[in-house]
C-alpha cells in the first residue's frame, strides 16, 4: 500500500512539473521570468503545447486526471484549518495567497495543484479527448465546488453567506438638507447605525426627483434559481416529475424606505401608493429577466406575481404624520418654531419677534403647499431670500434633542415622528435576514 501511494505521488509530481509552466501562471496571475527573451519562449511553448500528446507522455487517462484533481481538492478540504472560510480566501487576489500559513498554505498548494490538472482536463475536453466536467449546481457541495477557478459573479453570495455583505440593509431616502442634518443625529441618539449592514441615508434633493434608478440599484439583487425533485403534492407537475423551486438571493435584501413631505408626487395617499408601484415595477424590470427564464413557461406568470409581492414588501413610502404636515411642522411645536425663527431674525440683523400665532397661521393654511415656513421668513425679513435651511435646522435641533431625551426617559419617544421613523428603520434592520436568504414560494 505504501509503495503504491509512493508511486502515485511520484507520478503526480512528474505531471505537475510538466504542466505547471503552462497552467500555473493562469491560476496565480503571475509569471516569473529572468529576462525578456523568456517571455517570447514561453508564449511559443504555450501556443505549441499539445494536451493530448502530454496526456500520452504522462501515461495517464482522462479519468485519472479528473479523479486525481478531485482527490487533491478533497485533501485540501480535510487539512484546511480555515474550513469554509477558504471560500472567502479564494475570492481574494492570488498574490495574497502567499500570506497564508501552515495548514492553510498547504491546503492552498493542494488546490493550485488540482486546478492545474483541471485546466489541463478542460483543454482535453476542448479537443474532444475527454467528456466535459459535470455541472455543479449552485450551493451544492462537491470537491469541484471548491476549485480555484473563481466565478467573480458569486462574490456577493459568498460575502452574504459569511455575513460580510458590503450592502446596507435599509436605504433611507429623505427629502432635503434639513432632514439630512437632523435624521443622522436622531439615529445616533437612538443608537441606530449607519453604513455597511445597517442604514444608508440618501438626500433626494427634493420631492420632485425621480428615484427609480436608485431604487433599482439599491434593491434588485441577482438570484439563483434551483429546481429540485420533490414528492410534495403541492409542487408544480413538470413532465413525469414534480419540482420545487428555490430562489436564493446573492445578497441580503435591501429595504427602500422613502420619507417625504406630503407634496409634489407624495401629496395624497394615492400619489404615494403610485410611487411605490412605480419603484416596484422598475426594480422588477431589472430582476425578472434573469429570474423568470429559469422556470418552465407555464410557471413564468406565476413567478412574476410571486416576485412582485416580495419586492413590494421591500419598498415603503412615509410622510411624517397623519395630518399631512411637513417635516418641520410635524416634529416641532409652534412655540419651538417661533423661538428658532426669532433667534434667526436676531442673527440676521433684526429684532423681530416671531410669535406662535404667526407660525400657527402657516401651519393651518388651506392649501398644503402653503404650509411651509419660507413665506413667513420672507415677510419678516422683507426680502426675497429663502429660509436658511441649515441654520434653522441647527436652531431647532437642541429643542428636538431635548424632547427626544425626555421622551426616552418616560418611554414615549414613538410619538415624535422623526424618532418613530428611525425606530421603524431600526426594526427593519434587526428583522432583515443577512445570510442564506431564500424567497418564499
Over residues 325-358, the pLDDT tens digits come to 999 999 999 999 999 888 888 887 777 888 899 8
**For 26-37, what is each residue's pLDDT tens digit?**
898 888 777 767
Question: Which pLDDT score, from 0 to 100, does residue 230 have?
Answer: 45
Could you tell me what percentage of the chain is helix, strand and coil, using 3-state DSSP and rounding each to the nearest 5? Answer: 60, 10, 30
In a domain, 155, yes or no: no
Mean pLDDT on 288-309: 63
Residue with cell 431564500: 438
Please give the pLDDT value at position 405. 93
Model pLDDT, residue 347? 81
Residue 92 has a pLDDT of 86
The predicted structure's pLDDT at residue 369: 66
Same domain, yes or no, for 9 and 137? yes
Is 60 exceeded by the pLDDT of residue 383?
A: no
Predicted confidence at residue 231, as pLDDT, reads 42
Q: pLDDT: is 88 or 303 the higher one?
A: 88
Query: Running DSSP on this structure, what letter comes out for residue 143?
Result: G
pLDDT score at 289: 56
Residues 79-121: tens digit of each pLDDT: 999 998 998 898 888 889 989 999 999 999 999 999 999 999 9
Same domain assignment for residues 233 and 250: yes
Tell which wins on pLDDT, 405 or 291: 405
Residue 363 CB: number of other CB atoms within 10 A?
A: 20
- Judge whether 423 lies within some domain: no
Q: Of how many residues is the chain composed?
A: 441
Q: For position 233, what pLDDT does the model report? A: 38
Mean pLDDT over residues 285-309, rounded? 65
Q: Which of these three, 85, 120, 150, is where a domain ends?
A: 150
Pairing of strands 236-238, 199-203: unpaired
pLDDT of amino acid 4: 75
Please give the pLDDT value at position 241.
Answer: 41
65-85: per-residue pLDDT in tens?
999 999 999 999 999 999 989
Same domain membership, residue 31 and residue 113: yes
> What percent of the chain shows pLDDT beyond 70?
81
Contacts 24+ apart (CB under 8 A), 101-107: 103/79, 104/80, 106/79, 107/76, 107/77, 107/79, 107/80, 107/81, 107/82
Are 177 and 316 found together in one domain? yes
Spell out the alpha helix ranges (H) of 143-198. 155-161, 177-189
In a domain, 396, yes or no: yes
Contact 88, 52 (CB under 8 A): no
**Lowest-pLDDT range of 1-5, 230-234, 262-266:** 230-234
Q: pLDDT at residue 3 above 80?
A: no
Residue 158 to residue 274: CA distance in whole angstroms: 36
Same domain, 126 and 217: no
- Indicate whether 374 belongs to any domain: yes
94 and 229 both lie in a single domain: no
Is residue 361 a part of any domain in this protein?
yes
Residue 91 structural domain: 2-150
| Residues 235 and 280 occupy one common structural domain | yes
The predicted-structure confidence for 181-203, as pLDDT tens digits, reads as follows 999 999 999 999 998 889 999 99
Q: Using an 8 Å Cβ cutoff, are 264 and 207 in contact?
A: yes
pLDDT of residue 237: 38
The answer on pLDDT for 387 being more than 60 is: no
Q: What is the mean pLDDT of the chain?
A: 83
Asked if 182 and 42 sit in the same domain, the reply is: no
The predicted-structure confidence for 214-261, as pLDDT tens digits, reads as follows 999 888 776 665 555 444 434 433 333 444 566 777 788 899 999 999
Note whether residue 165 is domain-resident: no
- In terms of domains, do 59 and 146 share one? yes
Q: Which pLDDT band, with edges at 50, 70 and 90, does 163 fall under?
A: confident
Asked if residue 313 and residue 219 are part of one domain, the reply reads yes
Q: Is the pLDDT of residue 51 over 90?
A: yes
Q: Which residues pair with 317 in a beta bridge?
A: 258
Query: CA–CA separation, 324 vs 261, rounded Å?
Result: 8
Count structural domains, the chain.
Answer: 3
Residue 308 has pLDDT above 50, yes or no: yes
Contact 324, 263 (CB under 8 A): no
User: Measured at the alpha carbon of residue 199, what is the angle toward residues 373 and 208, in degrees to the nearest 5?
Assistant: 40
Question: What is the Cα–Cα distance from 346 to 58, expressed in whole angstroms?
Answer: 91
- The one-character DSSP state at 194 is B
Task: Indicate whether 424 belongs to any domain.
Answer: no
What is the secondary structure of 409-427 as a DSSP string? HTT-GGGSHHHHHHHHHHH
The verdict on 219 and 280 lying in the same domain is yes
Q: Please check whether residues 365 and 435 belong to one and the same domain.
A: no
The answer to whether residue 53 is domain-embedded is yes
Provide the H-helix boundaries in 49-171: 51-58, 62-79, 86-91, 102-126, 155-161
- Paired with 223 in beta bridges are 249
How is residue 237 annotated by DSSP?
Answer: E
Q: What is the mean pLDDT of residues 401-414?
A: 87
Amino acid at each position: 500500500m505504501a509503495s503504491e501511494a509512493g508511486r502515485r505521488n511520484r507520478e503526480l509530481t512528474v505531471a505537475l512539473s510538466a504542466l505547471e509552466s503552462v497552467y500555473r501562471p493562469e491560476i496565480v496571475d503571475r509569471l516569473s521570468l529572468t529576462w525578456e527573451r523568456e517571455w517570447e519562449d514561453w508564449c511559443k511553448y504555450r501556443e505549441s503545447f499539445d494536451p493530448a500528446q502530454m496526456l500520452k507522455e504522462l501515461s495517464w487517462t482522462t479519468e485519472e486526471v479528473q479523479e486525481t484533481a478531485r482527490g487533491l481538492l478533497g485533501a485540501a478540504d480535510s487539512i484546511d484549518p480555515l474550513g469554509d472560510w477558504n471560500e472567502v480566501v479564494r475570492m481574494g487576489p492570488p498574490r495574497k495567497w502567499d500570506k497564508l500559513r501552515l495548514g492553510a498554505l498547504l491546503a492552498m498548494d493542494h488546490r493550485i495543484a488540482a486546478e492545474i490538472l483541471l485546466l489541463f482536463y478542460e483543454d482535453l475536453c476542448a479537443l474532444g479527448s475527454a467528456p466535459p466536467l459535470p455541472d455543479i449546481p449552485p450551493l451544492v457541495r462537491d470537491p469541484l465546488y471548491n476549485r480555484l477557478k473563481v466565478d467573480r459573479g458569486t462574490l456577493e453570495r459568498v460575502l452574504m453567506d459569511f455575513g460580510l455583505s458590503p450592502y446596507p440593509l435599509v436605504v433611507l431616502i429623505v427629502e432635503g438638507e434639513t432632514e439630512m442634518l437632523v435624521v443622522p443625529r436622531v439615529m445616533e441618539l437612538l443608537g441606530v447605525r449607519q453604513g455597511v449592514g445597517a442604514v444608508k441615508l440618501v438626500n433626494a434633493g427634493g420631492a420632485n426627483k425621480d428615484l427609480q434608478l436608485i431604487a433599482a440599484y439599491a434593491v434588485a439583487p441577482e438570484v439563483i434559481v434551483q429546481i429540485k425533485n420533490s414528492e410534495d403534492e403541492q409542487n408544480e407537475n413538470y413532465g413525469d416529475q414534480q419540482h420545487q423551486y428555490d430562489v436564493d438571493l446573492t445578497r441580503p435584501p435591501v429595504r427602500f424606505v422613502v420619507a417625504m413631505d406630503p407634496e409634489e408626487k407624495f401629496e395624497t395617499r394615492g400619489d404615494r401608493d403610485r410611487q411605490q408601484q412605480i419603484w416596484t415595477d422598475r426594480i422588477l424590470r431589472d430582476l425578472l429577466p434573469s429570474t423568470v427564464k429559469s422556470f418552465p413557461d407555464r410557471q413564468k406568470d406565476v413567478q412574476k406575481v410571486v416576485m412582485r409581492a416580495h419586492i413590494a414588501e421591500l419598498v415603503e413610502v412615509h410622510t411624517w404624520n397623519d395630518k399631512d404636515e411637513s417635516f418641520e411642522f410635524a416634529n416641532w411645536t409652534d412655540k419651538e418654531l417661533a423661538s428658532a425663527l426669532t433667534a434667526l431674525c436676531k442673527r440676521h440683523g433684526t429684532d423681530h419677534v416671531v410669535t406662535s400665532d404667526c407660525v400657527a397661521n402657516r401651519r393651518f393654511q388651506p392649501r398644503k403647499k402653503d404650509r411651509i415656513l419660507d413665506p413667513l421668513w420672507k415677510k419678516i425679513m422683507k426680502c426675497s431670500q429663502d429660509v436658511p435651511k441649515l441654520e434653522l435646522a441647527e436652531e431647532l435641533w437642541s429643542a428636538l434633542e431635548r424632547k427626544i431625551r425626555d421622551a426616552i426617559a418616560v418611554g414615549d419617544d414613538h410619538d415624535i415622528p422623526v424618532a418613530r421613523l428611525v425606530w421603524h428603520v431600526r426594526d427593519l434592520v434587526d428583522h432583515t435576514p443577512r445570510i442564506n436568504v431564500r424567497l418564499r414560494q
